[in-house]
């Protein structure tokens, strides 16, 4: 799973940053130079996601009016599931949100 910010769509409006319950989104200035021959530079604020803090809860995605944030989910394929017995799923809830969970084989 991954989460991306589409730079061409992000306008730095801070809605996603305000919505993130984990403080995983900050806005940074990205410097750009104007067309060749012009000496001016300008900064654009862009959302940057800290993947160490992000839980991929998705709360930032619907609040972006420009569709700049996307969670990319990989499709899980599982062959031979009949062989697994006694598989347990443990989930942790933090601030009312189910965290990423893990599977544990019990025997």
**CA 7, CA 100: separation in Å to the nearest integer?**
26
pLDDT digits (tens, 9 = 90+) for 36-80: 665 666 567 899 999 999 999 999 999 999 999 999 988 767 777
Q: Provide the pLDDT confidence category of residue 33 given band limits of 50, 70 and 90.
A: low
For 19, list phi and psi in degrees, rounded to 5: -80, -25
Given a contact cutoff of 8 angstroms between Cβ atoms, the answer to whether 9 and 68 are in contact is yes
Residue 75: the pLDDT is: 76
Domains contained in the chain, number: 1
Given a contact cutoff of 8 angstroms between Cβ atoms, the answer to whether 92 and 99 are in contact is yes
Q: 50 lies in which domain range?
A: 2-75+82-105
Residue 96: the pLDDT is: 77
**CA 100, CA 92: separation in Å to the nearest integer?**
8
- CATH of residue 89: 3.30.70.20
């Amino acid at each position: 799973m991954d989460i991306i910010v589409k730079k061409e769509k992000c306008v730095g409006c801070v809605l996603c940053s305000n919505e993130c319950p984990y403080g995983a989104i900050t806005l940074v200035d990205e410097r750009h130079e104007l067309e060749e021959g012009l000496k001016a530079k300008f900064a654009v604020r862009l959302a940057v996601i800290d993947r160490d803090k992000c839980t991929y809860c998705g709360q930032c995605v619907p609040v972006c009016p420009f569709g700049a944030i996307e969670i990319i989910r990989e499709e899980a394929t599982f062959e031979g599931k009949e062989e697994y017995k006694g598989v347990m799923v443990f989930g942790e809830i933090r601030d009312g949100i189910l965290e990423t969970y893990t599977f544990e084989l019990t025997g």
